[in-house]
Amino acid sequence: MMHESVPDAFLATLAAIVGPSGLVTGAELRGRPASWTRPEEPCAAAALVRPRTTQEVSLVLAACHAAGHPVVPRGGCTGLVDGILCNAAEIALSLERMGGIESVDPLAMTMVARAGTTIAMVQDAAQAEGLMFPLDLGARGSATVGGTIATNAGGLRVLRYGMMREMVLGLEAVLADGTVVSSLRPLIKNNTGLDPKHLFLGTEGTLGIVTRAVLRLRPAPAGYATAFLACPGVDAAARVLARTQAAFQGRVSSFEGMWPGYYRLMTEPGRFAPPLPREHPYYALVEIECVPEEEPRIHALLESLMEAGDILDAVLAASEEQRRGLWRIREAVEMLVPAGFGRPFDVSVPLSAMHDYVAAATRAVAAIRPGAGAVAYGHIGDGNIHWNTTPLGDPALEAQVDAAIYGPLTALSGSVSAEHGIGLAKRGKLGLSRSDSEVAVMRAVKQALDPRRILNPGKIFLG
Amino acid sequence: MMHESVPDAFLATLAAIVGPSGLVTGAELRGRPASWTRPEEPCAAAALVRPRTTQEVSLVLAACHAAGHPVVPRGGCTGLVDGILCNAAEIALSLERMGGIESVDPLAMTMVARAGTTIAMVQDAAQAEGLMFPLDLGARGSATVGGTIATNAGGLRVLRYGMMREMVLGLEAVLADGTVVSSLRPLIKNNTGLDPKHLFLGTEGTLGIVTRAVLRLRPAPAGYATAFLACPGVDAAARVLARTQAAFQGRVSSFEGMWPGYYRLMTEPGRFAPPLPREHPYYALVEIECVPEEEPRIHALLESLMEAGDILDAVLAASEEQRRGLWRIREAVEMLVPAGFGRPFDVSVPLSAMHDYVAAATRAVAAIRPGAGAVAYGHIGDGNIHWNTTPLGDPALEAQVDAAIYGPLTALSGSVSAEHGIGLAKRGKLGLSRSDSEVAVMRAVKQALDPRRILNPGKIFLG
């Protein structure tokens, strides 16, 4: 596709706003990757603009709005759905020069951070006060406050602490025309009409650019108990979750599931030593926030669940090293790619529908052609299944894989994206998990806030 | 103010949609109160329309939209900000014939309920499955699912479970023009662009009428420990909260504060027997979800906090009856009215600002004239202070009281409404806790979804 290029005079206008070092073009720009999924492909934008202040973001957007130049924001560039992909007619926008924590209020347990701050920095600053910022994901060292708000990031502790949405008390954002929307209040409760922050959470930079946020911190857990379980199936695992939540008053911080194909792959010789025999029908990793003196209660619960038949076998981590070892089996999903399962999916379905859905989709993928296969795992306590399938190298066959995995979701009230977002990669699938009326509402809000469609155009919606 | 009346022919159109018993007019309508705050004043609407199905809601709104007749929704009619007040040119809309729970999924811990279902019914249905619906408020027997979504209700367990927003996974709503927006998915994670539910949560029926919702249920707590504390001040109480959250892994389900004026009033002879001496500078009620075997840890924590000087005295409920007795001191706020404190307020400020704010506002109210006074209490764990002031019977003096209580909030990044909403009563105060740019965004969304302004006109915004 051909795109009109951005005139040099306009780039000079941007450089005048952000200073010469704020505008990246040419070879330096081409040295940056197009997106996480295309590490070899250079960023194609006309330029990358790097403002230093909210005021500069406002001036940049006002200029782009007036001239009709599209703007594609990028955060830590760790997203999986090509939400930051640009073409030569677009200006890429990074807040990488707007990092830093402005303040921490340990008594109110809140923090004000700039959009360019990494999640690791936020976690460290919380820890320094004896507190915790609960959002956690593999990309913590690169992912930013702004990017995780734009994508409403999930991760490993959603079951207990929610997604990024639940950790943002207030924010500051810049609209397409440069208007600065200040909604930076550090309040848990603020019932004063439509809360503007929800327009910017999970909308992938299509409604505004988040520049700062007030984050909610939590007390740091005193400790964890971590168990690896074998179960008769995912329904039994769901009952284990419910019983554990009840016994420990909702303190299950992670409940991860692994279907047998995944577990056997991960515990093949040369990979991880299997903590439990490899012949069980289902595996789960459960982690509870608790203190050491509660260990007898954990043993009693596991025994009771074994008597009920919902647990077949179990191992409890006896040290931090063992705990990390158990987690590695669930977390080392990068090993799936060389093992032949290179196509990732990220869907959600109600927990009660998970067993039948995974069984049917696994069969359907395997039937596409000999050698086609799928392994399933994920944050099942959140209803979130990650699939990895064998790349088939043929678009028609891949469409059959998509149909096997995405097709049943509509009838199950599931979602084509539990946590990764829509971006460019999944916009053709949006209609499978948003009704026409929902999409019409989403478009009406987009039209109201960005009528010239300069903010991340073409993302989320097709056409 | 004069309003054009609604033609009889139009009322006949509505009656044809909802059936004759669905349209309430005349004496029967006048027998219904205007609002909770005006129990003696009859509902002034041209008619009350009571659809039985989402389809009927859609037809009613489409007709009102086409004819340009405003619609004012009412739920359980227990709101405190006159959000349901109507005039003779308006049609009142109630979903009282759309009650009932459609389904419960105990494994996924979700429930589908119609908008007219009361919160008490939802709580009971959850309890029947061994689960809990955490929203709880005094009006539980009247407040409805639809009304608590429209107002994003808070209540007694926000600290642990969030507001109504956090308990709604999906919903169905009808837009001003009759379009049914179906967003009923029972998913914890669904990152597929702007989530439409947030447009209807806390917007007081100005953007659409909620007809059904998928609610998130939680495991029922195994038990509670409840303590009544005396502290040197609210800052010390905040430290007690932080230490208790850390020691019990976030299981503090309520943390209520009482300034000494409130406590002394409630424990005067003839009211409640004081559980602790009446001379302390501050009082707090803390409730923890825990099991009986954790009691030694509670004693150890209280002793440690006493040694640190953050608790001066404490009593732990030894029975359910004692627990209820402690709670009554905090909950029996209806006794404030005959005691001379008849004007309620509902604000929020950061916990770290609470001490200075309450001290200054208390002094400012007392200085207005002899006999003027204010007592403060509230869900301080959420940053939410409820004030009651002595009615002064003079609008100019009441404006001084408002200035004393609302005035400081802007600089403190506080809110003029923590949980009650804006409605008609507080729309003049909206600008104190929403920036002009936020209000502009709120208005832009309103314009996009209800361009003819038929939904609850005049509420939230002035003019």
Question: Do A236 and A325 fall within a single domain?
Answer: yes
ipTM of model: 0.96
| Inter-chain CB proximity A415 and B185 less than 8 Å | yes
On whether residue A130 sits in a domain, the answer given is yes
Which residues does chain B have within 8 Å of residue A433's beta carbon, measured at their own beta carbons? 185, 190, 192
Question: How many Å apart are CA B453 and CA B451, to the nearest integer?
Answer: 5
- Record the tokens describing residue A460, joined without a space: 């989320």
Query: What is the spatial distance between Cα A259 and Cα B458, in angstroms, rounded to a whole number?
Result: 55
The answer to whether A351 contacts B415, with C-beta atoms less than 8 Å apart, is no
Q: Are the Cβ atoms of B193 and A203 closer than 8 angstroms? A: yes
Distances (CA, A) of A5 to A94, A147, B39: 20, 26, 66
Q: Which of A175, A194, A202 sits opposite B442 (nearest CB)?
A: A194
pLDDT in tens, A362-386: 999 999 999 999 999 999 999 999 9
Output the pLDDT for position B1. 43
Percent of chain A past pLDDT 90, that is, above it, reads: 97
B253 with B157: CB under 8 angstroms?
yes
Scan for tokens 């678009």, then name that residue: A395
What residue type is assigned to position A358 of the chain? V
Same domain, A300 and A376: no
Q: Which residues, 6+ apart, have CB-to-CB distance to A273 below 8 Å? A: A267
Say whether both A257 and A318 belong to one domain: yes
Asked if residue B110 and residue B174 are part of one domain, the reply reads: yes
| pLDDT value of residue B462 | 84
Question: A250 contacts in B (CB within 8 Å)?
Answer: 218-219, 251, 289
CATH of the domain at B262: 3.30.70.2190
pLDDT tens, residue by residue, A11-56:
999 999 999 999 999 999 999 999 999 999 999 999 999 999 999 9
* Beta strands in B21-174, from DSSP E residues, in sequence order: 23-24, 33-35, 38-42, 47-49, 71-74, 91-94, 101-105, 110-114, 131-132, 168-174
Distance CA A379, CA A159 (A): 8
Residue B444 lies in a domain: no
Same domain, A90 and A107: no
Comparing alpha-carbon positions, the chain B residue that sits nearest to A425 is B192
- Residue B449: which H helix or E strand, with range? helix B436-449
Least CB-CB distance to B190: which of A181, A189, A433?
Answer: A433
List the single best residue of B253, B441, B462 to mutate versus A (max A Cβ within 10 A): B441
In a domain, A442, yes or no: no
Please report the residues numbered 100 through 129 in chain A whose beta carbons come closer than 8 angstroms to any beta carbon of chain B: 105-110
Q: Scanning every residue of chain B, which has its alpha carbon at the shortest distance from the alpha carbon of A172?
A: B438
Can you give the pLDDT at residue A163?
A: 97
The answer to whether residue B454 sits within a structural domain is no
Q: Which of A162, A175, A441 sits opposite B181 (nearest CB)?
A: A441
**B90 and B121 assigned to the same domain:** no
Residues of B with CB below 8 A from A221's CB? 249
Burial class (CB in 10 A: 0-12, 13-18, 19+), A258: buried
Do A354 and A367 sit in the same domain of this protein? yes
Distance from A70 to chain B by nearest Cα, in Å?
Answer: 19
Are B232 and B295 in the same domain? yes
- Which pLDDT score is estimated for B463? 67
Cα nearest neighbour of A235 on chain B: B107
- Amino acid B5: pLDDT: 83
Tell me the three state secondary structure of residue B104. strand
* CA–CA dist B136, B251 (Å, integer): 17
Mutate to test the interface with B, among A167, A190, A203, A294 (most CBs of B within 10 A): A190
| Pairing status of strand B282-289 against strand A91-94 | unpaired
Whether A459 maps to a domain, the answer reads no
**Is A222's Cβ below 8 Å from some Cβ in B?**
yes
- Look at residue B389 and tell me if it is in a domain: yes
Contact A342, A372 (CB under 8 A): no
Q: Cβ separation of B185 and A414 shorter than 8 Å? A: yes
Q: What is the CATH number of the domain that holds A141?
A: 3.30.465.10
Contact B65, B209 (CB under 8 A): no
In this prediction, residues A389-399 reach a mean pLDDT of 97
Can you give the pLDDT at residue A413? 96
**Any chain A CB within 8 A of the CB of B219?**
yes
End-to-end CA distance of chain B: 15
At residue A4, does pLDDT exceed 90?
no
Helix (H) or strand (E) holding B150: helix B145-150
- Give percent helix, percent strand, percent coil of chain B, each to the nearest 5: 35, 20, 40
For residue A290, give the chain B residue with the closest CA: B249
Across the interface, of B182, B249, B418, the residue whose CB is closest to A191 is B418
> In degrees rounded to 5, what are phi and psi of residue A35?
-170, 175
Tell me, yes or no, if B441 comes closer than 8 A to chain A by beta carbon. Answer: yes
CB contacts < 8 A (A, B): 294
Find the CATH number of the domain harbouring B379.
3.30.70.2740
The answer to whether residue B352 neighbours chain A at the CB level (below 8 Å) is yes
- Exposed/middle/buried for residue A171 (C-beta within 10 Å: 0-12, 13-18, 19+): buried
Between B105, B190, B417, which is nearest A192 by CB? B417
Structure tokens at B248: 């019990």
At A309-328, the pLDDT tens digits run 999 999 999 999 999 999 99
CB contact under 8 A, B189 and A162: no
Residue A436 in domain = no
A401 close contact with B: CB closer than 8 A: no
- What is the strand order of the sheet A343-348 is part of? A313-316, A224-231, A282-289, A252-258, A374-378, A384-389, A343-348
Query: If contacts are CB pairs under 8 Å, which of residues 2-31 in chain A contact chain B?
Result: none
- From first to last of the 463 residues of chain B, give the pLDDT tens digit: 445 689 999 999 999 999 999 999 999 999 999 999 999 999 999 999 999 999 999 999 999 999 999 999 999 999 999 999 999 999 999 999 999 999 999 989 999 999 999 999 999 999 999 999 999 998 999 999 999 999 999 988 999 999 999 999 999 999 999 999 999 999 999 999 999 999 999 999 999 999 999 999 999 998 999 999 999 999 999 999 999 999 999 999 999 999 999 999 999 999 999 999 999 999 999 999 999 989 999 999 999 999 999 999 999 999 999 999 999 999 999 999 999 999 999 999 999 999 999 999 999 999 999 999 999 999 999 999 999 999 999 999 999 999 999 999 999 999 999 999 999 999 999 999 999 999 999 999 999 999 999 999 999 998 6
Q: Say how far apart CA B107 and CA A361 lie, in whole Å.
A: 21
Phi, psi of B340 (to 5 degrees): 100, 5
Which of these three, B58, B77, B97, is where a domain ends? B97
Show which of A190, A219, A248 is a domain's final residue. A219
Are residues A75 and A15 located together in one domain of the fold?
A: yes
| Closest by Cβ to A445, choosing from B194, B249, B418 | B194
A382 interface with B at CB cutoff 8 Å: yes
Final residue before a domain boundary, out of A331, A358, A377: A331
Domain residues for the domain of A299 are 224-331
**Backbone angles phi and psi of B345, in degrees to 5:** -130, 160
Residue B175 touches chain A, beta carbons under 8 Å: yes
Pair B32, B108 in one domain: no
* Mean pLDDT in residue range A219-232: 95
Give the CA distances from residue B78 to residues B84, B151, B207, in Å, rounded to whole numbers and listed in that order: 10, 11, 20
Q: Is residue A204 less than 8 Å (CB to CB) from chain B?
A: yes
pLDDT tens digit sequence for A49-107: 999 999 999 999 999 999 999 999 999 999 999 999 999 999 999 999 999 999 999 98
- CA nearest A379 in B: which residue? B189
Task: Give the per-residue pLDDT at A1.
Answer: 43
Q: Which long-range contacts (CB under 8 A, 24 or more apart) does A29-35 make?
A: A29/A92, A33/A77, A34/A84, A34/A85, A34/A86, A35/A77, A35/A79, A35/A82, A35/A83, A35/A84, A35/A85
Angle separating helix axes B234-247 and B295-307, nearest 10 degrees: 140
Tokens coding A341: 């399962």
C-beta atoms of B413 and A184 within 8 A: yes
A460 in contact with B at a CB cutoff of 8 Å?
yes
- Selected residue with higher pLDDT from B1 and A232: A232
> Which residues of chain B are within 8 Å of residue A202 when distances are taken between CB atoms?
191, 193-195
- Do A71 and A115 reside in the same domain of the chain? no
Rounded to an integer, what is the distance from CA A124 to the centroid of its chain?
A: 20
Q: Token pair for residue A323?
A: 């705990």
CB–CB contact B182 A437 (8 Å): yes
Q: Give how many domains chain A has, as a whole number.
A: 4
Helix axes of A436-449 and B436-449: crossing angle, nearest 10 degrees: 140
Do B136 and B84 sit in the same domain of this protein?
no
Write the residue in A105, A422, A435 that is nearest to B183 by C-beta. Answer: A435
Is residue B49 in a domain? Answer: yes
Cα B423 off chain centre by: 12
